[in-house]
Structure 1
């Protein structure tokens, strides 16, 4: 398996954006949690205070988002070993004819033909 990590240079790195869940607490405070990243959580008396603290946490931890490209190794389809296994069977044409006859009969019975 081949693995490639794509990163952007620090000079032209895009801004990171996060979805943040804001929750009012029973004590009147507010918590802010980065959606999908429960370790990135803060609280404050106001929404703004909770968000400011969350920004500080994110800046201190210096998160980085990278894109992984994984090249999947090609494997043979599991049914391919059966492909053509009856090509030399003298009864194969007879079996195909039987299948076609049965399908036609079923179509007539179901009114789909």
Structure 2
């Protein structure tokens, strides 16, 4: 499996956006948790303080977005095992002629409709 990591080298960093769950705790504090990333949590007396701590935590971690391109393993088409299996069949040519005649007949019928 081939793996390629693409990173963008920009002069201005793109803004990252996060969905944050704000919860009032029983002890009177407010917690701010990044949804999907429970390790990123800030808490404080107010919502603003909790968000400020969360922002500081995220900035300290220096998050980075990368794009992974994973090349799928090359596999043989499943029907390749059947390719050419009738090449030595003496009736193969006759069968192909029958199919071609049948197709021609269906085409003619469709043209007259």
Which TM-score applies when normalising by structure 2? 0.67
SS at match of 1:51: helix
Give 2:28's aligned residue: 28
Deviation of the 1:84 alpha carbon: 6.5
Report the count of equivalent residues.
91
Q: How does 1:16-95 map to 2 (within 5 A)?
A: 16-78=16-78, 80-82=80-82, 85=85, 88=89
Query: Equivalent residue of 1:54, what SS?
Result: helix
> What secondary structure sits across from 2:12 in the alignment?
coil
The ranges of structure 1 where at least 4 consecutive aligned residues each deviate by more than 3 angstroms after the TM superposition are 77-80, 82-90
Unmatched runs of 5 consecutive residues or more in structure 1? 94-113
Cα distance, 1:38 vs structure 2: 1.2
